[in-house]
Amino acid sequence: MRIIKLTPLPDWILSIVAADGRHGIFDVKPYLELEAFNALRDHHQFVNVLNGGYFVEWECGADLSADTIEARWKVSGEAPSKAAA
């Protein structure tokens, strides 16, 4: 999965749009207990997320691969299939 749009939302949620048109949300809260993600408990740190295309990262060094996100995100929409277009 390649991430083309990334938007941090309240409550430690990332809104994500994938290159294939799928979109959904990813909850970062379960990761906040991990040492690498501790700094993200400060919401100002959390919202300064950077989109690396195949990963997301924060200044504190925490990062998540697109594979991890894809395995655990909640897809809320899909791109229309070419057959339906």
For 50-70, the pLDDT digits (tens) are 999 999 999 999 999 999 999
Run of H or E including 23: strand 23-27
Instruction: Please tell me the pTM assigned to this model.
Output: 0.88
With a pLDDT cut of 90, the percent of the chain lying above it is: 89
What is the three-class DSSP state of 40?
helix
Average pLDDT, the chain: 92
Question: Residue 73: is its pLDDT beyond 70?
Answer: yes
pLDDT at 82: 43
Class of the CATH-defined domain 3-77: alpha beta
The residues spanned by each domain of the chain are 3-77
Question: Residue 35: is its pLDDT beyond 90?
Answer: yes
In our burial notation (b when 16+ CB lie closer than 10 A, e otherwise), range 45-71 reads bbeebebeeeebebeeebebebeebbe
